[in-house]
Amino acid sequence: MTETTEALRRRLTDLAARPDGQAHSMPAAYYTDPDWLAGEEEMLRSQWMCVGHIGEARKPGDFFTTELLGEQLLIAHDQDGVLRVLSNVCRHRGNKVATGAGNARKFICSYHAWAYGSDGGLLSAPLMKGSDAFDPDCKLPEFAHEVWNGWLFVNLDGSAPPLTPQLSTLQGIVANYHPDDRFLVFMEEDIWRCNWKSLFENFMEGYHLSATHLDTLHPITPTRLCRKMVGSDAHTGYHAFYDPSYPPRGPFHKDLTEEERNNSPMYGVYPNLVVGMATNFTLFMILRPHGPDQVKIRWGVAGLEDAPDSEKVADYVALCRSFNAEDKAKLETLQVALASRHYDGGP
């Protein structure tokens, strides 16, 4: 551990011990120090991290590929209906087995044509039967995973305790919104020039809504109507209540109470999933560190209807693009300003 990271650890320990009335934000090095990030990434391998939505692999044969902390992942819905998270690295010379997304019965490494089934088993390896070192029973390694309300979580080192029991409090908060019944209708990837934690924190506070999103979100969910959510060690968030003058955000699920019809639970599942669950649509962002000053984002929208080409979806995605652009601009200037040696956090 370097002198900088050790000093930062002592600083964070001090901040965590303060009472609520003396709450203080993090020092700049928390968002800028590459050695601190290296420690974070090692820690994150033992956590449940979100990598996608099951709507990306709905049917047998569906698959998509992604990356997490340097691990290349292949998420495949196999022919028996089982969702698997496989290593997307060929057992021969280590090239990628698959790219992109689609539907396939098998995956063929384009380097030497080794082929694997959707369960990860080796199907063929041209001209290898005469090699004493060849193991015909080798498979693509499989990672531990859980699905919670449609989101797919992976634990890279297999040491994390079950995730779902840790989210029981949050499940009670969002149950009547029925997130598990919503359909994935939009998905996109992006990179922002800011620390990954800055984006998580930005999504989890309503203090910036009226100032940063004056024309987009302030008319719907102004800062003055935000209320902190009951949190836990596994999640945090707030309730963004709707301005009474804004048109109702239906259609409403029959289970929603009157209060639930009038607010969006905005929550984050530690360490890398943030969700805005409106009454009609769900916006979510899956965050992955990409150096201390960049974050890779997989973001999407889920809706009550399986209609990705509808006008309602297009309008909601357009709204999301608008306020995402506003957040991106603020967070990228924030990252530049955090290079200052004079900033040490504020109340």
Rounded mean pLDDT of 253-282? 96
- Convert the chain into a string of H (helix), E (strand) and C (coil): CCHHHHHHHHHHHHHHCCCHHHCCCCCCHHHHCHHHHHHHHHHHCCCCEEEEEHHHHCCCCEEEEEEECCEEEEEEECCCCCEEEEECECCCCCCECCCCEEECCEEECCCCCCEEECCCEEEECCCCCCCCCCCCCCECCECEEEEECCEEEEECCCCCCCCHHHHHHHHHHHHHHCHHHCEEEEEEEEEECCCHHHHHHHHCCCCCHHHHCCCCCCCCCCHHHEEECCCCCCEEEEEEECCCCCCCCCCCCCCCCCCHHHEEEEEEECCCEEEEECCCEEEEEEEEECCCCCEEEEEEEEECCCCCCCHHHHHHHHHHHHHHHHHHHHHHHHHHHCCCCCCCCCC
135 confidence band (pLDDT: 50, 70, 90) = confident
Query: Is the residue at 160 inside a domain?
Result: no
Query: Is the residue at 235 inside a domain?
Result: yes
Same domain, 318 and 169: yes
CATH code, domain with 300:
3.90.380.10
Same domain, 222 and 136: no
Same domain, 224 and 321: yes
pLDDT at 112 over 80: yes
Each residue's pLDDT tens digit, 11-28? 999 999 999 889 999 999
Same domain, 89 and 209: no
Query: Is the residue at 69 inside a domain?
Result: yes
Same domain, 180 and 317: yes
Specify the number of domains making up the chain: 2
Same domain, 177 and 125: no
Question: Can you give the residue range of the structural domain that contains 88?
Answer: 49-155
What's residue 52's pLDDT? 98
Query: Is the residue at 125 inside a domain?
Result: yes
Query: Is the residue at 103 inside a domain?
Result: yes
Same domain, 229 and 128: no
pTM of the predicted model as reported, rounded to 2 decimal places: 0.95
Same domain, 319 and 203: yes
CATH code, domain with 122:
2.102.10.10
3 confidence band (pLDDT: 50, 70, 90) = low
Same domain, 212 and 261: yes
Domain boundary among 99, 131, 155: 155
pLDDT at 1 over 70: no
